[in-house]
Chain A
Amino acid sequence: MTTATPTVAAGTQNTDGTPTTTAGRVRKRLNSRTATLVSIVIAVVWTIPTFGLFVSSLRPEDEIKTTGWWTAFTNPQFTFENYQQVLFGRSSSSGQLAGSFVNSLAITIPSVLFPLAFACLAAYALAWINFRGRDWVYIAIFALQIVPLQMALVPLLKFFSTGVTLGGVTVMPAWDLVDEQKFAQVWFAHTCFALPFAVFLLHNFISQLPGDLMEAARVDGASHPKIFRTIVLPLITPALAAFGIFQFLWVWNDLLVALIFAGGGDETAPLTVRLAEMAGTRGNEWQRLTAGAFVSIVIPLIVFLSLQRFFVRGLLAGSVKG
């Protein structure tokens, strides 16, 4: 059971084998064979494009460029040459994706950790510390979710490049980052953009923890930081995992933020930027595009498949980030 949710209890099968969910019943009464057929057709349509890409990425260059990937079934010829070329090739046209792969990693790891830590601190305060204006702060943070990140890009970039001056006084100098130092800008941007959703999602989980538990701890004289560290954190690990996966997929797959704050240089451009570039300038170099796309897909796919359970739980706890 990978994608089912805890609410399945209502939908377990009766002893006589009739499904008790409405959908199950509808499906059963619909001519069952038609239902199966339609669902198989949809599943095939959804899977074939990725499958085709994968098969192609393993075929020799001449073959990819002259025949469709489906001929691989009748004339199987496979090679790792494309991956070799696209990852480690020296020529500038090869993509040199191994370096971008490292960039993606360097961008993603801190961009997941920072918002995760800050958001769960904030979510705890909003859920369990009594202070005036608490609801308003929560509503304000919640509402920030609707600000499209496009609204922040131009001024934020300016903030990094020129700093802040108020009435002629430099409050904050320009960051003046070069090469791989630009990772810091990307971390900062991703952290800011992720926070509203992160606080919202984690608040959903944290506020549902049993109040008795907190009360008992308080009576025993535990302070908020202590409760947070010893009670709340261990209990919300699944929620942290859920948001961690969200944020990981979001950052790893992001193009816009990376394009603007990391730039296109070898030192900083993540896989997505390099791939989008290749798709634009070398749209017919299918041996590189297919292998490159698969390189960028493989890590999120592994994360997704192994942690799907948490991801789904996160999806159902709130909405998703758009």
Chain B
Amino acid sequence: MEFDFADQQPKFLMLMYGLVAFVLVVGGLLLLLDVVPAWFARRREAQLVAASVSGAPLPRRPRQREGIFALFFLLPTLLLLTIGLVVPAIRTVLLSLMNGDSTEWVGLRNYGFLFSDDAMVRVLINTLVWVLVVPLVATGFGLIYAVLVDKARFEAVAKSLIFLPMAISFVGASIIWKFVYAYRGDGDQIGLLNQIVVSMGGEPKQWLLESPLNTLLLIVIMIWIQAGFAMVVLSAAIKAIPGDIVEAARLDGVSPWQMFWRITMPSIRPALIVVMVTLTIATLKVFDIVRTSTNGNYDTSVIANEMYNQAFRYGQSGQGSALAVFLFILVIPVVIYQIRNLRQQREG
């Protein structure tokens, strides 16, 4: 074993600093929250005593106390969100209107670049394909599986198997599937897919090099990861359908097919929408899979990956920021749709 534990010491030290900081910050905040109200309580007591001694009317309970409390409870969150999310997001919008090294305003030129450059258009089309395919297929598989294993024996185990990929990193998943797609010129194949192709009399292929097939093969990885999420949420929705509706339908003698389309589907519609929307947003931001599998080469790049390339590899922070803003713009309508649905659901 050639691993020197001493090399790791600075890291553990740093981790310890982090934990100490955590204890100090959170502990300090809680302590402060205990001290402040105690001080207020003492002051109020003193006021009450003074009032009863002098015979003056009792002071009214001060209202702003609640507000002060809330401020302390919310302080770290609001501070971090402002520094880490709000201000940077606004700056990104501004950066997207500037040139590569942020020295000059260029108006909407970066956005023009998104739609005129051939490689960029390819990126946009790829992203569109991802967003159209992943949510539909992943939800489809999730739904079919949820229905099939509902009340089956070993339901819990069966669900765990599909759910498991959710615990695996996108990087790990990409390596798992790269191995499935692996190619060897002649002799034995080591990739499962090529082995299947060969055993059925076909020629082995370099799957990840062939556009546009490679984009679809990367999409498979995302579907493989996300179907479990769809399955779990939909399965819970199915189990929540009230028994008496089902009973009534059965008395009316509906067929299983009708039961599925007229009872199950309408009942789980809200859950379906939540799943689709969540998957759409996750898919828009997909980065790790593309980067690990092909690094965006061979016409497989997507917006999030290209954003990283432009901003952090090519030093084009203007174009990178424009891509980030574009991503944001794409997410907005999806979210508005979801919020509207949630509201309808609550009113209905």
Q: Which of B95, B158, B277 contacts A39 (CB 8 A)?
A: B158
Alpha-carbon distance A153/B95, docked complex (angstroms): 12
For B284, what are the chain A residues with a Cβ–Cβ distance below 8 Å? Answer: 148, 322
Take A52-B179, A156-B84 as given contacts and tell me if A43 and B287 are in contact as well, using a CB distance cutoff of 8 Å. Answer: no
- Given A87-B3, A199-B77, the answer on whether A26 and B147 have CB atoms closer than 8 Å is yes
- Produce 1/0 per residue, A99-117, CB < 8 A to B: 1001101100110011001
Bound-complex Cα distance A149 to B89 (A): 9
Q: Determine how close the nearest CB of chain A comes to the CB of B5; give it in whole angstroms.
A: 9
> Which A residues lie within 8 Å of B81 (CB)?
141, 144, 192, 195-196
Nearest chain-B residue to A146 (Cβ)? B335
Which of B52-60, B103-111, B228-236 contacts the other chain?
B228-236
**Set B264, B308, B331: member contacting A148, Cβ < 8 A:** B331
Q: Is B14 an interface residue when CB atoms closer than 8 A count as contact?
A: yes
B238–A21 touching, CB < 8 Å: yes
Contact A103 B11, CB 8 Å, known A129-B69, A276-B291, A289-B179: yes
Closest to A89 in B: B2
The answer to whether A23 and B69 have CB atoms under 8 Å apart is: no
Q: Which residues of B contact A76 (CB under 8 A)?
A: none
A 44-101 contacts with B by CB, 8 A:
46-50, 52-53, 56, 64-71, 84, 87-90, 98-99
* Contact across chains for B169 and A253 when beta carbons are under 8 A apart: yes
Given A88-B2, A223-B37, A224-B73, A260-B312 contact (CB < 8 Å): yes
B180 CB–A CB distance under 8 Å: yes
A-B interface contact total, Cβ < 8 Å = 433
Q: Which of B19, B69, B157 contacts A110 (CB 8 A)?
A: B19
Residue of A nearest to B36 (CB): A225
Is A26 touching B282 in the complex (CB atoms < 8 A)?
no
Chain A residues 288-322 with CB under 8 Å of chain B are 289-290, 292-293, 296-297, 300-301, 303-305, 308, 312, 315-316, 319-320, 322
Residue numbers in A under 8 Å from B85 (CB-CB): 144, 147, 151-152, 192-193, 195-196
| Assembly CA distance A13 to B267 (angstroms) | 20
Judging by beta carbons under 8 Å apart, are A3 and B235 in contact? yes
A243 interfacial by beta-carbon distance below 8 Å = no
A273 vs chain B, min Cβ distance (A): 8
CA–CA, A56 and B257, complex, Å: 43
Measured CA separation A118–B81 after assembly (Å) = 11
Complex interface bits, B308-327 against A, C-beta within 8 A gives 1, otherwise 0: 10011000010011011101
Residue-by-residue, is A247-288 near B (CB-CB < 8 Å gives 1, otherwise 0)? 001001111100110000001000110011001100100100
From known contacts A2-B156, A148-B331, A229-B30, infer whether A66 and B188 are also in contact, taking CB-CB under 8 Å: yes
Q: From B13, B66, B141, give the contact of A130 (CB < 8 A).
A: B66
B229 to chain A, nearest CB (A): 6
Contacts A88-B1, A99-B7, A301-B168 hold; do A148 and B15 have CB atoms under 8 A apart?
Answer: no
Q: Please state if B80 and A191 are interface contacts (CB–CB under 8 Å).
A: yes
Q: Given the complex of chains A and B, what is the CA–CA distance between A50 and B13 in angstroms?
A: 35
Q: What is the CB-to-nearest-CB distance from A229 to chain B, in angstroms, rounded to a whole number?
A: 7
Within 8 A of A (CB), among B12-40: 12-15, 18-19, 21-22, 25-26, 29-30, 33-34, 37
Known: A56-B179, A276-B291, A301-B168. A122 touches B77 (CB 8 A): yes
CA gap between A184 and B11 in the complex, in Å: 11
- Closest residue of chain B to A222, judged by CB? B37
Q: For A181, list chain B residues within 8 Å (CB).
A: 14
> Complex: how many Å from CA A84 to CA B1?
8
Cβ B233 vs Cβ A322 within 8 A? no
Give the number of residues in B that approach A within 8 Å (Cβ atoms).
Answer: 143
Question: Are A192 and B83 touching (Cβ within 8 A)?
Answer: yes
Residues of B within 8 A of A147 (CB): 85, 89, 328
> A174 at the A/B interface (Cβ < 8 Å)?
no
Q: Which of A23, A105, A255 contacts B171 (CB 8 A)?
A: A255
List the A residue with the shortest CB-CB distance to B320: A154
Minimum CB distance partner of B236 in chain A:
A5
Give the size of the chain A interface in residues (CB under 8 angstroms).
142
**Bitwise interface map of A from 174 to 216 toward B, beta carbon under 8 Å scored 1, else 0:** 0000011101100111011101100100000000000000000
B145, B259, B295: which contacts A26 (Cβ < 8 A)?
Answer: B259
Contact of A109 among B19, B195, B238 (CB under 8 A): B19
The B-contacting residues of A in range 4-18, CB under 8 angstroms, are 4-5, 7-8, 10-11, 13
A residues less than 8 Å from B229 (CB atoms): 315, 320
Chain B positions within 8 Å of A89 at CB level: 2
Q: For residue A98, which residue of chain B has the nearest CB?
A: B3
Contact B332 A255 (CB under 8 A): no
CB distance from B35 to the nearest CB of A (A): 9
**Cβ of B155 to closest chain A Cβ, rounded Å:** 7
CB pair B147–A322 under 8 Å, yes or no, is: no
Q: What residues of chain B lie closer than 8 Å to A231, measured between beta carbons?
A: none
| Bound Cα distance A84, B91 (Å) | 46
List chain B residues, Cβ under 8 A from A119. Answer: 77
Q: Does residue B217 face the partner (Cβ distance < 8 Å to A)?
A: no
Q: Is B12 touching A102 in the complex (CB atoms < 8 A)?
A: yes
Contact A49 B162 (CB under 8 A): no
State in angstroms the CA–CA spacing of A4 and B86 once bound together.
Answer: 38
Listed by A's residue number, 10 A-B pairs whose Cβ atoms lie within 8 Å are: A11-B239, A21-B243, A29-B259, A35-B152, A64-B190, A110-B21, A121-B77, A151-B324, A159-B88, A272-B169
- CB-CB nearest 5 A-B residue pairs: A192-B84, A253-B169, A125-B73, A304-B167, A29-B256
A29-B259, A131-B66, A322-B284 given; 5 more Cβ-contact pairs under 8 Å: A46-B161, A98-B3, A152-B85, A188-B84, A319-B278
Interface residues of chain A, those whose CB is within 8 Å of chain B, are: 1-5, 7-8, 10-11, 13, 19-30, 35-36, 38-39, 42-43, 46-50, 52-53, 56, 64-71, 84, 87-90, 98-99, 102-103, 105-106, 109-110, 113-114, 117-119, 121-122, 124-126, 129-132, 134, 137, 141, 144, 146-156, 159, 179-181, 183-184, 187-189, 191-193, 195-196, 199, 223-226, 228-229, 249, 252-256, 259-260, 267, 271-272, 275-276, 279-280, 283, 286, 289-290, 292-293, 296-297, 300-301, 303-305, 308, 312, 315-316, 319-320, 322
